[in-house]
Amino acid sequence: MKWNALYALPLSSIHIDDGYWNRYIRLVPERIIPYQWEVLNDRVKDAAPSYCLQNFKIAAGEIAGERKGAVFQDSDVGKWLEAVAYSLQSVPDPKLETIADEVINLIGRAQCEDGYINTYFTLKENGRRWRNLTMGHELYTAGHLIEAAVAYYQATGKDAFLKIMCRFADLICETFGPAKNQCHGCPGHEEIELALVKLYGVTKERRYLEMARYFVEVRGAKPNSFLTEMAERDFHEVYNEKTFFFPAYSQSDKPVREQTKAEGHAVRAVYLYCAMADLAAAYQDDGLLESCKTLWNDMVNRQMYITGSIGSCADYEGFTVDYDLPNDTNYSETCASIGLALFGLRMSRVTGEAKYLDVVERALYNTVRAGISQEGDRYFYVNPLEVWPENCLPHSAHKHVNPVRQKWFDVACCPTNVARTLTSLGQYLYSVSDSSVYLNLFMANHTEVTVAEVPVSLDLACDFPVSGNLTLHVSAQQAVAFALRIRVPGYATNFRISVNGQEQLLCIEKGFAVLERTWGVDTVEVSFGMEAKLVSANPRVRADIGRVALVRGPEVFCLEETDNGKNLASVFVSREAALETAFAPDICGGVNTVSFAGEQLVEEDWDADTLYSDRPLIYRPVQLKAVPYACWGNRKPGEMLVWMHAKE
Amino acid sequence: MKWNALYALPLSSIHIDDGYWNRYIRLVPERIIPYQWEVLNDRVKDAAPSYCLQNFKIAAGEIAGERKGAVFQDSDVGKWLEAVAYSLQSVPDPKLETIADEVINLIGRAQCEDGYINTYFTLKENGRRWRNLTMGHELYTAGHLIEAAVAYYQATGKDAFLKIMCRFADLICETFGPAKNQCHGCPGHEEIELALVKLYGVTKERRYLEMARYFVEVRGAKPNSFLTEMAERDFHEVYNEKTFFFPAYSQSDKPVREQTKAEGHAVRAVYLYCAMADLAAAYQDDGLLESCKTLWNDMVNRQMYITGSIGSCADYEGFTVDYDLPNDTNYSETCASIGLALFGLRMSRVTGEAKYLDVVERALYNTVRAGISQEGDRYFYVNPLEVWPENCLPHSAHKHVNPVRQKWFDVACCPTNVARTLTSLGQYLYSVSDSSVYLNLFMANHTEVTVAEVPVSLDLACDFPVSGNLTLHVSAQQAVAFALRIRVPGYATNFRISVNGQEQLLCIEKGFAVLERTWGVDTVEVSFGMEAKLVSANPRVRADIGRVALVRGPEVFCLEETDNGKNLASVFVSREAALETAFAPDICGGVNTVSFAGEQLVEEDWDADTLYSDRPLIYRPVQLKAVPYACWGNRKPGEMLVWMHAKE
């Protein structure tokens, strides 16, 4: 292919001010970052303990005590700092910045002589560094700290954190590689790869990019480095990985270029794929890009939930087989949807194709937003599409399903991941090339972009996804020719564009409507329809047969007990039901709801003590109200259902 | 209530010669017992190792080596010997009897000075007897050996095994009880209780009955003896029971008389309930019987699969909440259905009610028979109602589901349990009281019974469940008045009885048709209809909403891939479909199959790479063939489905 990958705008140039997202974005500095800070310091009552800051203090030799929490606990500090960095860009907060600086200093004080940072291996497994790559998460944790350092440098211009992490990255570059005296392994949990690409991006130190490439390419080499390591290793404390681990779990059953199926742990997989896409662009590597496309297609066309979540298996938090998408025992981790969005964004930039952004949008507008409560202090880790709270019992098939959002988790990757995602949503909005500006997602924003050395202001006004009416004010400091490319979502109907009141003939390339002209001060108006509709799943998805889901634009809707009563599984909907959309200002900061008529099996008509019978079934007409999946569980706790029974 | 519990006939007086069961019953001496003997001696290639005989030889000091296998491994020998005992009653086999005698001698040689028998605690945890009642299974294992000893004594008249086990039972009676110097605990896995009642039955030593009663009554006392034990115990090797155990798991959250819900591990529960029913009868204990009825009703009216299986949760192999009956992630252990049948049989005898036998029959004709292959050498431990082999993956929600029967299991309770059940089916056929003979189940048989001191022969000819036509020849040595009571199954239609060609007015008491007369040589003819029909589940059973199951008499039918192709979940059936029953002599020794027209979603019409769409669905007409669930998986491996989508 012709390599002209698109690039991102600096996050600092994008200011979101969007009716749909504001509530959540504003929560980050106001509520989420302070709340998570309290959690990381173990000051929130009844929340699962974090130990994060305490661990760093112990590692720095400043307090006594036992290092506690998961082996990858340090990464939560990384993601929190990353969220802080993004937040400081849009909402300066000197007090918060001081706290962040102190945390960064603490990390520096906990750093070993040689640059190594990891409180678990420093305090609990001293002398065993890099010997449990399978499950030790040292490189994963390093990756999150590096991402945070890059973000903090970009946000504040301060390079202390960046220097700390470069020292660690340098140690990693020395330790790993093809040379005889180097370790030929790669991380059991990917993340360092995409982080090293980012580090290269700000430092321009090519060794970081090369290191990322090495980690990606060595994965899946024979003999499997994880199996070798486990056989040779004389300790197995972290997990019972000997019985649990299988090579595909960490995408290491074969080299990544030979992989055609998204397999194993879903978060691991998408973080790897992000790095593969980055490296494909950096090295103009057609083969690697082909692998990315194949894996993307396998994942989103055969293994993705309608809510943009992935990983149907709870036990190893990952992929199973094509079309195996159970709705009530699935994992669908919030982090996996974040990783999916990050991968999709990269794919849209490498290929210039809009179709990837449809999936990005689906993940962000459904699962990612569902991952956090309306108040910002409760989180879903697991995102089922059907919940019957009564059967979510310990030691059961639903043991991982929380019917209500939690204060924190023993493994707490998701809350901080949501925080950094909400504060960096701007990264998704635009892509640019030398001669084009791409509008990817429809969040109201003010953005400064420079095209052909001319500063251009972009002001997007919209109430998406309430409606598909967008107004984009373009204001170039001087007349400048470029192509404005506006994404035409796959779900859009009757897509129309006008410039300065003049309707334009549609020219669509790679899923973007192209407006090629010389811009000065102009107004672009876009409108498209997003009718609520009932969709079916591919008949190969056994779990959804005989069922329908309600979608409108990027949003998937669900029934909740609070609106529709108990036993939502007993509701039947005609595929021809008339769907009435209405705006509900009181739910999650204002969303559309959809009402429609249905039927419901009458439970009371059936003796509670008769399980099976050939008696006729009695239905009663019911009026149903569906709310966006993203909002579920924000009112009264109860049942929730996405895939409703269809009255055939 | 008026206490006149019915009693059982000696198994030796009942000879089954039944078209439906013969194939399986004959397999026991011909194939199952020899095969299991090979397994117990670890001579079957690729079968999970048993170690059973080896362990006893090590314990007897006759060979060297490490004691291996589960803590309860000895119990498999017990159940095997019990099956042998029953088998010798109907098929004498001196060679087999010699082998059994040798095994019994071996058990005797492995017995400790004081009577204790348990290879695990003798060899692996010496000095830790009775200190892990929660998970140690010593009393469970003792119970199965006692049941075997009783059966062997009844079958052969030899009392060596009985004496061995009485010595152990005496030790148990000394060890446990209310006295200060006794242990006040009870077994984590029930079984000893019903075994001690049986031991009392043949020895008439009342202390055994009292011991059983103590174990039942002390269960659930405060403080919970298992929690106390775990807190005090200084070793936890057997299982990670500290994180796993919860009192209801072993029915110990409250005293049994206060229990109203079937909870916890299903096999544990039904074995306990069997003993409760036995003790209710032995002590004419109304309160205990009321508890039995309450627990029975809870279990069969709210927590039982249509196939007569119980325990919807795989993780702890047990009950969850009312109406939580998923069809593809369930456990439904073969042993649990055996225990359910044993409990139901006891309840029918204590109460004189036929309704319990409907459930017994459902368990035996579906799940129990499904537990073993047509050839007798492959077994199901777990009995799902919907299997998609491709998604039965390790470390997944379906990890416990075997799509094909297995040669053996690491935990192999089920195969030997099926063997002893098939050889003791006779126990289910009749119950008697002083003035009545009850015909419970319809298996062709010849039976000798003594009524009012008059020997009476009963010859039942039938081809049940192929048809509901029964002919019972009664031949009394001299004229004798008694009531013949023939069960009227809940599913029977047009139930008619004639005696010597003379149709009788139906008099039905407690579910039995009563023929009260003076009997000499008479012929009773019974006929009833068993139309195939499609049934629904209670709308509270979320998993079955919008679905129908095909039943005919006691048999539940299923679709198999070998008859109906792939993706059985995409099949739709009208509730009004015409069902055509036909006899298939080639399946499982001859069974009815049912054919009907349906529709199937056309997979090929839908792009394999489109997951969700509002495109119309295309159905094609299909001709479907259902086979009895009991037979599934005996032909080509593949998908299986009980609850089919209903075309509403």
Give residue-wise pLDDT tens across range B364-389. 999 999 999 998 889 999 999 999 99
CB contact under 8 A, B615 and A536: yes
Average pLDDT of the residues in A47-54: 93
Q: Could you tell me if B521 and B557 lie in one domain?
A: no
Looking at the domain assignment, is residue B155 inside a domain? yes
Q: Respond yes or no: is residue A413 known to be catalytic.
A: yes
Alpha carbons A80 and A470: distance in angstroms, whole number: 33
Looking at the domain assignment, is residue B444 inside a domain? yes
Looking at the domain assignment, is residue B575 inside a domain? yes
Reported as a pLDDT band with limits 50, 70 and 90, residue B235 is confident
Q: Respond yes or no: is residue A375 known to be catalytic.
A: no
A534: nearest CA partner in chain B: B614
Looking at the domain assignment, is residue B19 inside a domain? no
Tens digits of per-residue pLDDT, A304-351? 999 999 999 999 999 999 999 999 999 999 999 999 999 999 999 999
pLDDT at position A1, please? 52
What's the domain range around B117?
51-254
* pLDDT surpassing 90 at residue B220: yes
Average pLDDT of the residues in B52-72: 96
Which residues does chain B have within 8 Å of residue A297's beta carbon, measured at their own beta carbons? 609
Average pLDDT of the residues in B333-341: 98
**Domain C-terminal end among A529, A551, A575:** A529
Reported as a pLDDT band with limits 50, 70 and 90, residue A2 is low
Tens digits of per-residue pLDDT, A125-181? 988 999 999 999 999 999 999 999 999 999 999 999 999 999 999 999 999 999 999
pLDDT at position A596, please? 98
Looking at the domain assignment, is residue A566 inside a domain? yes
Closest Cβ opposite residue B306 in set A314, A545, A612: A612
Tens digits of per-residue pLDDT, B571-613? 999 999 999 999 999 988 889 999 999 999 999 999 999 999 9
Q: Where are the alpha helices (DSSP H) in B304-400?
A: 334-351, 355-362, 369-370
| Residue B313 forms contact with A (CB below 8 Å) | yes
Looking at the domain assignment, is residue B136 inside a domain? yes
Q: List A residues 504-533 in contact with B (Cβ-Cβ < 8 A).
A: 533
CB neighbours of B518 closer than 8 A, spacing ≥ 6?
B479, B480, B481
Tens digits of per-residue pLDDT, A609-622? 999 999 999 999 99
Which residues does chain B have within 8 Å of residue A329's beta carbon, measured at their own beta carbons? 329, 397
Q: Could you tell me if B370 and B293 lie in one domain?
A: yes
Looking at the domain assignment, is residue A37 inside a domain? no
What percent of chain A is predicted at pLDDT more than 70?
Answer: 99
Do the beta carbons of residue A593 and residue B566 sit within 8 Å? Answer: no
pLDDT at position A4, please? 72
Reported as a pLDDT band with limits 50, 70 and 90, residue B23 is confident
Q: Could you tell me if B84 and B225 lie in one domain?
A: yes
Looking at the domain assignment, is residue B462 inside a domain? yes
Mutate to test the interface with B, among A309, A319, A330, A545 (most CBs of B within 10 A): A545
pLDDT at position A234, please? 81
What is the CB neighbour count within 10 angstroms for residue A232? 8
Give kind and range of the element (H or E) at residue A154. helix A138-156
> In the predicted model, what is the mean pLDDT of chain B?
95
Q: List A residues 243-272 in contact with B (Cβ-Cβ < 8 A).
A: 244, 246
Q: Could you tell me if B199 and B272 lie in one domain?
A: no
Alpha carbons A106 and A118: distance in angstroms, whole number: 12
Q: Which of B292, B413, B414, B631 is catalytic?
A: B413
In DSSP notation, B452-493 reads TTEEEEEEEEE-TTT--EEEEEEEEEEEEEEEEEEE--TT-E
Q: At what angle do helices B74-90 and B52-59 cross, to 10 degrees?
A: 110
Mutate to test the interface with A, among B602, B612, B643 (most CBs of A within 10 A): B612
What is the CB neighbour count within 10 angstroms for residue B529? 13
Do the beta carbons of residue B539 and residue A606 sit within 8 Å? Answer: yes
Q: Could you tell me if A520 and A438 lie in one domain?
A: yes
Reported as a pLDDT band with limits 50, 70 and 90, residue A408 is confident
pLDDT at position A413, please? 85
pLDDT at position B421, please? 96
* pLDDT surpassing 70 at residue B2: no
Do the beta carbons of residue A404 and residue A372 sit within 8 Å? Answer: no
Reported as a pLDDT band with limits 50, 70 and 90, residue B410 is confident
| Residue B306 forms contact with A (CB below 8 Å) | yes
Reported as a pLDDT band with limits 50, 70 and 90, residue B240 is low
CB contact under 8 A, B570 and A617: no
pLDDT at position A23, please? 86
**Domain C-terminal end among B230, B254, B278:** B254
CB contact under 8 A, A613 and B648: no
pLDDT at position A362, please? 98
| Residue A614 forms contact with B (CB below 8 Å) | yes
Alpha carbons A277 and A256: distance in angstroms, whole number: 12
What percent of chain A is predicted at pLDDT more than 90?
Answer: 91
Alpha carbons A457 and A451: distance in angstroms, whole number: 10
pLDDT at position A238, please? 58
Reported as a pLDDT band with limits 50, 70 and 90, residue A90 is confident
- Asked if omega into A223 is within 30° of 0 (cis), the reply is yes
pLDDT at position B90, please? 87
Q: What is the CATH number of the domain that holds A509?
A: 2.60.420
Q: Could you tell me if B236 and B110 lie in one domain?
A: yes
pLDDT at position B413, please? 84
Alpha carbons A505 and A498: distance in angstroms, whole number: 9
| HSE of A381, CA atoms in CB hemisphere, 13 A | 15
Q: Could you tell me if B100 and B188 lie in one domain?
A: yes
Q: List A residues 545-604 in contact with B (Cβ-Cβ < 8 A).
A: 545-546, 549, 551, 567, 569-570, 572, 601-603
Q: Could you tell me if B565 and B597 lie in one domain?
A: yes
Tens digits of per-residue pLDDT, B490-508? 999 999 999 999 999 999 9
> In the predicted model, what is the mean pLDDT of chain A?
95
Average pLDDT of the residues in B60-72: 95
Q: Could you tell me if A507 and A545 lie in one domain?
A: no
* pLDDT surpassing 80 at residue B489: yes
Q: Could you tell me if B516 and B584 lie in one domain?
A: no
Reported as a pLDDT band with limits 50, 70 and 90, residue A239 is low
Average pLDDT of the residues in A560-570: 97
Reported as a pLDDT band with limits 50, 70 and 90, residue B19 is very high
pLDDT at position A589, please? 82
Question: What is the domain count for chain A?
Answer: 2
Q: Could you tell me if B341 and B244 lie in one domain?
A: no
pLDDT at position A237, please? 64
Among the listed ranges A56-60, B151-155, B385-389, B406-410, which one has the minimum average pLDDT value?
Answer: B406-410
Tens digits of per-residue pLDDT, B187-217? 999 999 999 999 999 999 999 999 999 999 9
Average pLDDT of the residues in A380-409: 93
**Domain C-terminal end among A512, A529, A546:** A529
pLDDT at position B514, please? 98
Average pLDDT of the residues in B303-322: 96
A298: nearest CA partner in chain B: B609
Average pLDDT of the residues in B283-293: 97
Q: Could you tell me if B160 and B202 lie in one domain?
A: yes
Which residues does chain B have within 8 Å of residue A244's beta carbon, measured at their own beta carbons? 395
* pLDDT surpassing 80 at residue A200: yes
| Residue A388 forms contact with B (CB below 8 Å) | yes
Q: Please say whether the dihedral angle defined by the alpha carbons of residues B620, B623, B629 and B631, taken in this order, is positive or negative.
A: negative
